Chains A and B, each alone.
Chain A
Amino acid sequence: MKTRGRIYFIVTTLLILFFSYVLVNGLTIGDYQVKPLSKIVKLGLDLKGGVYVEEEIVDKNVSKDTIERTRDLIELRVNSLGVSEPIVAITGSNRIRVEIPGIYDPKAALEQIGKTGRLRFVGPNNDEIITGKDVKDATVGVDQRTNAPVVQLKLNQEGAKKFAEATQKYLGKQIAIYMDEDLVSAPTVQSVIPDGEAIITGSKTVEEAKRLAGIIKSGALPVKLNPATIRAIGPALGAEAIPTSLKAATIGIILVMLFMLLYYRIPGLIADLALMVYMIITALIFTVALKATLTLPGIAGLLLSIGMAVDANVLIFERIKEELKLGKSLRTAIDAGFKRAFTSILDSNVTTLIAGFVLFFIGTGAVKGFALTLIIGVLSSMFTAITVTRFLLKSFVNAGWITSSKFYGA
């Protein structure tokens, strides 16, 4: 029994330390590589910086198909910005949420997303010549004479025919190009254009021309949008938030572990090992199983859950103490401690879960993310505090290194 207890305890402890090390530092064996957690976790916009926009569809009673089409069109436009991992998603019944990392100018982002994208070429008599529907492709080029960036349009067959007729009709006159209500440029027709190729001048920078081309190519949005929320998070904020949160987490966790060790001694040491298992499980569920995004409130939630995770162990150890004081043997006291603490662990955690689930199903955005942290935290802390602590504590007692019940709280 002694040998078995020792092997169980030592092997489990080594495994816990090994997994913690791998999650923090990663591991390479031959060609096979395990990335450290910090490389796997997806960071929320508040940690990496970017623009967050929630667009509300103004029109009433819009069909689901139309909302989905609008989302796809916005996705095309956002993708044309060329940033990595933008998010475009439908939230609620009539909103589209857009997250663009790496861009900090909300105005530029709004223009890219929110323009209904109605392109019109209008003649001098205010007659419509061609619209966005006649455009086959839009690319960015350079005006040979001025070196200024331009948008090159390739019209489809019908558009080319209409454009040829119009350039003949208005030779020497101005054609105005409108994007929604804005006059983009008003070039003078210098020659008849028969081949369906037109250019739009007036872009000040290549980026601006790229944006315009992106909007024209992705086509007009079927609905009118109104931004309900706009947030821009500067790059420095995230750069500062991550190291400060890490520092806070390290200090907080060390304090919790030290406290448990000093107050509860042997059981405290075991609770610390169980807490490490808790952190490993929670981290894996978050990053690998759910592929959840880490946000600032999420960090706060996780840290809170670490403080709470030892609660079940505190309940158990206090019970063990009481049993020892009644004069029971170490093994009996441990068994009784786990058994008698169970109902209070169960009832107190279920009430927290009730609140967590309500938040998860009713809350939106950050609240939902936080609720998820809460639920996962409660479930995995219940598991580790009961099973892992019990296994380790029993193995340790069986190992017979320290038999005096003084070190177990008596």
Chain B
Amino acid sequence: MERMFKICEKSKIWFSISLIIIIIGMATWLFKGLNLGIDFKGGTVVTIKIGKEFDVVELRKSLEKYDPQIDVREIEGYEVTIRSNKITTDEVNQIFNDVKTKYGLKDDALRSIDTIGPSIGKELRRSAIISTLLATLGILIYTSFRFELWSGLAAIIALVHDLLVTISVYTILQIPVNSSFIAAMLTILGYSINDTIVVFDRIRENRKLGKYHDFETLADASITQTLARSINTVLTTLFTITAIYIFGVPSIKEFALPLIIGILSGAYSSIFIASPLWVIFEKKQGQKV
């Protein structure tokens, strides 16, 4: 007897796990909103390396004269980010000088200054939505053409699942969302579908062989046969992207984190979401294997 993992049998459990994460994420989105970074909202962020321990509360107090709502935060590596949507370029220079004198720093303590106008966010949002829709549509057309409509639909749902899970993790943990997040989401869109296609390719092949007589067994067998590949590919991808997350500078981490979440979610959905969904779709249609 062929060894086989019974995935489809317990599809309710797999769907529930995903649904819980997504529902919590979407509820947080509704009530608390995404933590939009300056790329979307506009404003200025100054990052300065203090290089030693410092009192964030005290620093914030001393900078309140520029903007009572000024946001001052310590980030790892004894660095501070100062965020405001009111300060001018003149004031940015004054703030840096203030911090410089206060902690006896040199000019090279300035890590970065980012000022984004309000028009950028709108454009970014628009191009993100258009690219997501177009890419999804393109993938749907291709998979429906190469496989069949129900495979295409199941693959797209798995894809949307990965995007929603990634957004959910971001809303739940309130991680700031910037343009690099959008780029990462669009990358997930391209990569996570890979795993699903590999499983569907195996289903297509096994179906032609005519060895399995119901959809569940067909799907379970195909998942089991491709499982080693799914795990190994996720591992090798995670090796490099996690290395950059651990050793990289903050701005590259910002890009690596959503990718890690998306890759994990992509592996999960290709096994536990896409194929069980496809089985349900085919059965609803009254198809025969």
Contact = CB atoms under 8 A, between A and B. Distances in A.
B131 interface: yes
A310 B201 contact: no
A351 B238 contact: no
A107 B252 CA distance: 26
Interface string B107-133: 111111111110110010001001100
B134 A358 contact: yes
Q: Give the secondary structure class of A's interface.
A: helix
A263 B115 contact: no
Given A296-B255, A352-B191, A303 B112 contact: no
A226 B119 CA distance: 11
Interface stretch (B13-21, B135-143, B167-175): B135-143
Contacts of A304: 187, 191, 237, 240-241, 259
Interface in B189-229: 189-191, 193-195, 197-198, 201-202, 205, 225-226, 228-229
B93 interface: yes
A297 B180 contact: yes
Contacts of B31: none
A252 B247 CA distance: 10
A306 interface: yes
Interface string B69-111: 0000000000000000000011011000000000000011111
A229 B8 CA distance: 50
Contact of A234 (B112, B146, B237): B112
Contact of A236 (B49, B120, B130, B241): B49
A354 interface: yes
B190 A226 contact: no
B1 interface: no
A208 interface: no
A303 B239 CA distance: 9
Given A230-B89, A358-B134, A367-B182, A255 B239 contact: yes
Task: Decide if the interface of chain B is mainly helix, strand, loop or mixed.
Answer: helix
A206 B246 CA distance: 45
A89 interface: no
Nearest to A235: B108
Contacts of A259: 232, 235-236, 239
B255 A300 contact: yes
A359 B186 contact: yes
A366 B205 CA distance: 39
B131 A236 contact: no
Interface string A360-379: 00111111001100100000
Interface string A196-240: 000000000000000000000000000000111111111111001
Contact of B93 (A105, A303, A352): A105
Contact of A252 (B89, B243, B259): B243
B243 A303 contact: yes
B49 to A, nearest CB: 7
Contacts of B235: 259
A56 interface: yes
Contact of A311 (B93, B117, B138, B233): B233
Interface stretch (A167-175, A341-349, A397-405): A341-349
Given A233-B112, A343-B201, A351-B143, 9 more contacts: A107-B89, A231-B115, A232-B110, A237-B112, A297-B252, A300-B248, A308-B233, A311-B236, A354-B139
Closest 4 A/B residue pairs (Cβ): A355-B190, A252-B240, A307-B237, A252-B243
8 contacts: A228-B119, A234-B111, A252-B239, A255-B239, A259-B232, A300-B256, A314-B233, A362-B134
